[in-house]
Structure 1
Amino acid sequence: MRSKRSNDFSRQFLVPTYNLSPSKVTKFLLLIIFFLIFFNLGERVIVYWLNANYDNQFISHYFNFDQESNFPSLYSALTLGFCSYLLALIAVFKKSSQAIYAKHWKALSWIFLFLAIDEACSIHELSIPILRNAINAKGIFYFTWVIPGFFLVVLFLITFRKFIQSLPMKIKIIFISAGAIYVTGALGMELVGGYLADSSGYNTVYGIATTLEELLEMFGIVIFIHGLLTYIQSQLTELHFSLSFHRPKKKNIQTPKYK
């Protein structure tokens, strides 16, 4: 005899509905960025005070925008992964409606998934010493990954130009603005940071440049997420998810009888 408690888990359970409106999500992400900036400045002040008063070299990286494997990099990786997820949702919807650019949405999803993994694992930085020694890079190309990075951006624009042109005007403006801000931070400020690191070392000015670089990337992603949610909102009124824990019933396959 089955207990009452086990019966409770055999029925359907409805979870609360969450309103992921573009404005609410954007405000939430901007609030997180504000706290990251606040703790970053606080960390820098504390480290400077400790170094000045104890004549030592204290280093902290938990909220440092120029360090990896900390809270800012975790936030960036998660938001890039969220972009990949939203793009995958749009790709599924476009594929079901047999839209002409369904494959482009899917390709974008994979691109942002790679960017999220790269942000978490710093894959692109592995190429820096190899390329630097190969071409003896200095100045603005001190961080040599920007060279293949620019070629990839150009290739992306050529490949996706018709897709971008097909977007509604409002979404097109949001996407282009987000991309321009993100690339300005990721590549443009990386050129500035490379010049500063090569000419004067990893000093305070370099720290300000890298902080600005990360902030531009973060704001670019927030704008992009706002555009994706706005686009989804224009296409769908509601989006439902369901999880089923029942095994699919096996169909009885009858083998043909031969005489």
Structure 2
Amino acid sequence: MKKNYPEKIFTGILVCILILLVLNILSYLDFYYNNLEQRDYFFRKTNFNLERNAPTIFSSSLHFTASILLAIIAFSKLSIKKVKSFWIFLSILILFIGLDELLVIHEKVGRAFGENVETSGIFFFAWVVPYGIALILIGLTLLKSLLKLPKKTRLNFIMAGAIFVSGAMVIEMFTGWYVEYNQLQNENLLRVPDTFILSTFEELFEMIGIGFFVYSILDFIREYKIKT
């Protein structure tokens, strides 16, 4: 396999993201200006803010790919991987996030959490509270092993995580505040241009983040020529 395959794969991922972005914008413009219903087929299958469609499947497939690659590293004979449990845990974590993307687990958690705790402002979407706490705990747990990675891999992993979390948590929290502040109704969120832009950036950051993570893992594999 050619030495520049991680870059080529990442370029392919970015092209796919660009195509999905264009379709997302076109379907929204069609939906908005022609006053279509939310069940419009093109809109449902391409909108970034809806589930179980092309963007969701693509994003989940990137997570599953990353999970498999992490598992390969975990069970390889490579000494530089340092702590085997780190790679196994990371593989399981990314697998869960991919399943969450497909099955919308976070929204179910949010509904259950919101029934017992009143949330508002940046915590308007209740799921960000338990997931935020989990993120901090997981980050602290993995920090020691992360710091043992080669410098390039460590920085790549941190950058990928920062990009992903910026979309999944930071923009989501701002969107929650914006929705509450402007008293927007749930049934109108898909039609309001402001929330469309926010949700587009949210999913865009998530896809670029996990795409760069896949690249980072492939770069690590290339650099250290993993053998199972």
Report the TM-score when normalising by structure 2.
Answer: 0.89
Q: Identity across aligned pairs (percent)?
A: 31
Pick from 34, 48, 56: which aligns with 2:18? 34
Letter of the structure 2 residue corresponding to residue 80 of structure 1: H
Any stretches of 5+ residues in structure 2 without a counterpart? none
Report the equivalent of 1:171.
Answer: 153
* Corresponding residue SS for 1:61: helix
1:136 shift after superposition: 1.8
CA distance in 2, matches of 1:197, 1:233: 45
Report the equivalent of 2:219.
Answer: 230
1:135 shift after superposition: 1.7
1:99 shift after superposition: 5.7
Report the equivalent of 1:22.
Answer: 6
Report the equivalent of 2:72.
Answer: 89
1:214 aligned to 2:203? Answer: yes
Pick from 32, 54, 61: which aligns with 1:71? 54
1:161 shift after superposition: 1.1
Pick from 87, 91, 98: which aligns with 1:109? 91
Aligned length: 218
Structure having the higher Rg: 1
Report the equivalent of 1:47.
Answer: 31
Report the equivalent of 1:161.
Answer: 143
CA distance in 1, matches of 2:148, 2:80: 15
* Corresponding residue SS for 1:137: coil
- Structure number having the greater helix percentage: 2
CA distance in 1, matches of 2:4, 2:97: 23
* Corresponding residue SS for 2:46: coil
